[in-house]
Every structure is written in structure tokens, then in C-alpha cells.
Amino acid sequence: MIEEGLLDGGAAPDGGLRAARDASAHGRRHLGAPGPAMASGDTIQIVVRGRGGHASAPHDCLDPIPIACEIVQAFQTLVTRRVHVFDPAVLTIAKIEAGTTRNVIPDTASLLGTIRTVSEATRERVLEGVRRVAEGVASAHGAEVGVEADSRLSGHGERRRLRRLRPRHRARADRPGRRAHREPPDRWRARTSRTCSSAFRAPS
């Protein structure tokens, strides 16, 4: 599309929509729902700064590796006890890097991971919690820590733009010759209603 001149002349586009195929959607249907369809992504990088030395004398060092491990463990509690289950977050530390050999305690330990959220409020809460937990654990051991977040993949600001585009999309779907989104059969709706009612019925 770019090679065909999408960005040439006139006003440049200020956004885009992504369409994906879903094997569970049979026939020619447009599937959609209000709210986010996928989570945003923030990259977090944490560096724990201790004091290196020989493995035979850890008491003369400040080993950053167990401190980094304790930070990762504390993140699990941050998500399960500080994030609402119906406004979820996923916090993953996928890379831990420290040291160069078997008998030298390193000066630093690095953590690299991602945060996935579906609302801006939870995103800000988790980012603040990551910084607070990392700094608190490091401080408890007398170490220093640096926390950086790369938010280039965070897309919560696109929700307002999608709301603006939704009426236009609906009008196009209503044109002659186009098939709009089909509602599920009545028996599906009834079954879903009964399931939800039984799941949230107050105990007698």
C-alpha cells in the first residue's frame, strides 16, 4: 500500500485498523465488540546494582542475583493481589542476565520482561507497582536499582479513535450487498443467560 502511494499527497493517515482471520468465525461475518480486543505491551528493563567479588567471600560482596530473584518473586504477588481480576494484567520476566563465570559474583543483574494490560488505569498502576517493588526489595538489601519502561507498544490511546470509526464501519456494513454481523441464535443467547445467572446467583 505504501509503494502504491498511500502516504503521497494530501493528509497523512493518523491511524489504522488491523483485520485478522478467526477460524471459529464461519461464513462472511464481521465480528466485533466494544472495548479492547487485544492487550497493550510495555517493555520493562530492571538493573540491580550490587558489589561484585569472589564467590568464596560473599560476605564481602553485595550479590545482585538473589536480589533480582526476590524482585521477580515479588512481582507475582503484585499481580495477584493488587490487580483486579476483571481488569487483568500479565507481568512476565522472560530474561535474567548476570555474571560471566562460575566463581565470580557480578556487580549487576538485569531483568527484561513485558507488561500486558487492557486498560490505561491498570497499566499505570502496574508500572508504578513494578518500580515500587523493585526499589523496595533492592533497598531492603542495601542495593541500588534502575527501572526503565518502553511504552512504544502501548495502544490504549487508540480506543477513542476506534469509537469514532465504529459508526462509519456500521454504515458500510449496512450497504446493499454487504452482510452485517449476525447475532447468535436465540438458543445460544438463552443458554448464555442461564449460565451467567447460575454463575452469579447469590447463595440461599
Distance from C-alpha of 139 to C-alpha of 20, rounded to nearest angstrom: 46
Contact of 67 with 143, CB cutoff 8 Å: yes
Contact of 103 with 147, CB cutoff 8 Å: no
Distance in angstroms between the alpha carbons of the first and the last residue of the chain: 61
Summarize pLDDT for 161-192 with one digit per residue, the tens: 445 545 544 444 445 554 444 444 454 444 44
Distance from C-alpha of 87 to C-alpha of 68, rounded to nearest angstrom: 27
Write the DSSP assignment of 137-194 as a string of letters.
HHHHTT-EEEEEEEEEE--TTHHHHHHHHHHHHHHHHTSTT---PPPPPHHHHHHHHH
pLDDT value of residue 30: 63
| pLDDT exceeds 80 at position 48 | yes
In degrees, rounded to 5, the angle at the alpha carbon of residue 178 between the alpha carbons of residues 176 and 183 is 115
| pLDDT exceeds 60 at position 197 | no
| pLDDT exceeds 50 at position 59 | yes
Task: Provide the percentage of residues in the chain whose pLDDT is more than 70.
Answer: 63
| pLDDT exceeds 90 at position 82 | yes
Confidence band of 110 (pLDDT split at 50, 70, 90) = very high
The closest alpha carbon to 30, from 161, 170, 188, 175, belongs to 170
Q: Which domains does the chain have, with CATH numbers?
A: 40-153 (3.30.70.360)
> What DSSP element (H or E) covers 95?
strand 89-98
The closest alpha carbon to 71, from 27, 164, 12, 133, belongs to 133
pLDDT value of residue 17: 66
pLDDT value of residue 18: 65
Other CB atoms within 10 Å distance of the CB of residue 169: 13
Summarize pLDDT for 126-166 with one digit per residue, the tens: 999 999 999 999 999 999 999 999 876 555 555 554 455 45
Distance from C-alpha of 65 to C-alpha of 48, rounded to nearest angstrom: 8
pLDDT value of residue 7: 75
3 state DSSP class of 99: coil
pLDDT value of residue 152: 65
